[in-house]
Structure formats: structure tokens, C-alpha cells
Copies of this chain bind each other. A is one copy, B any other.
Amino acid sequence: MTTEAETHGNTRRAELLSIAAGLFAEKGFKNTTVRDIADASGILSGSLYHHFDSKESIVDEILSTFQEELFASYDAVLASDDDARTKIERAVHLSFEAIDKHRHEVAIFQNEADYLGGFGRFAYLAERNAQSREVWITLLDDGVRSGVLRSDLDIELTYRFIRDTVWVAVRWYRPGRKLTHERIADQYLTILLDGISHG
């Protein structure tokens, strides 16, 4: 059961996290001060510490919450009985959908994971990275084995290209423009699967 007070506290907390996420994504973790976050929230910097232990705790909560949701949806794709090609298409679409729905979180992970990973409390970021690699290697191996993908592929290199291209789109994608995330995913899959060459 959830009391009204808890609900209200949670929405306020979520609001602060969302404001902080926008700033972290736009200016970077180190470039965003707790005063920046407080200003954007309409309160003073000291008041933030009623809600969070530290600046690190804020970005920690942003990233861990997002990662949990993201990998749950990857698991759903892996567990399905779709064929190899459909699974790859679903995984790609799922990633661009994450960029659309959670672009701040994706941007923070892309930009700050290396730096934050140096701190013990963010060790789960490296684990999630390894988990993501396993998902894609599985999908690509299945693709080659079932004859959907070319057998001369360097699987490891292909995985890196897919991972990089899919996530780096967060740098330029903005929701609400002409180019929807579904169309970007489709165009990307066309290039990835069939190439840009004629014939």
C-alpha cells in the first residue's frame, strides 16, 4: 500500500530527478553543480540534501532506475520465440525507443559511464555493459547460425558497430521532429542489413 504522503514525496522526488537528469545530460555531470539543480528546481542548494545524500546519489538513482527498465525489455526480446532477424529488428527498435523516451538517461550513460565507473558504487554500470554485450552476441550468433546473417562476419566487431551506432544517435535525435524514432530505426536497419551499396 502507498500513502498519499509517499505518493507526493515520490512525485516530488521524481521531479527533482528529472530536472537533474536534464542538466546532467546537457552539461555533463561534473559541469552541473548542485546549485544548478536547485536553481532549476526553484529551491536552494541546501534543500536538495533533504531529498538526496549527495550529488552522486542523484545520478546513481537516475542511471540504475533506467538500466533496470531497459534490460527488462531486452530480456523480453530474448525470451520470445521470434526468428533471429525479427529479434534483431526488435532489439534495434527498442533501443531507439529508449532514446526517444529516456534521452537524458541514455545521454548520461553514454557520456559519464566511463568516469563514474571508477567509483565503487557504480560498478553495476560495467556489469550492465557486459550484459548488453551478451544480448547482442547471442542475437548475432543466432543470426549467423540460422543463415539470416553472412557467415564471414566478425561478430565482435559487428556487435561494437551496432552498439555504437544505435546509442550514439542520442547526440542528435530530438523527439517531436519530423524524423520519428521508428523511422530512424527502420532506416538504420536497412543500412545495417542490406548496406548502402547499389546491388
Contact = CB atoms under 8 A, between A and B. Distances in A.
Interface of A: 27-28, 30-31, 85, 111, 114-115, 143, 147-151, 153-154, 157-158, 160-161, 164-165, 168-169, 171-172, 179, 184, 187-188, 191-198
Nearest to A112: B28
A188 B161 contact: yes
A25 to B, nearest CB: 10
Given A31-B115, A164-B168, A193-B196, 7 more contacts: A143-B196, A150-B196, A151-B198, A160-B169, A161-B191, A164-B164, A164-B169
Q: Which residue, of A143, A151, A160, A188, has the highest number of chain B Cβ atoms within 10 A?
A: A160
B192 A196 contact: yes
A157 B111 contact: no
Contacts of A143: 196
Per DSSP, chain A at the interface is helix
Q: Kindly list the 10 A-B residue pairs having the minimum CB-CB distance in the complex, ordered from nearest.
A: A195-B195, A193-B197, A194-B195, A164-B168, A30-B30, A165-B165, A150-B198, A193-B195, A168-B168, A157-B187
A197 B195 CA distance: 9
A185 B193 CA distance: 18
A153 B151 CA distance: 26
Contacts of A164: 164-165, 168-169, 171
A149 B197 contact: yes
A194 B197 contact: yes
A160 B187 contact: no
A113 B161 CA distance: 22
Nearest to A169: B164
A149 B199 CA distance: 8
A48 to B, nearest CB: 20
Contacts of A192: 191, 195-196
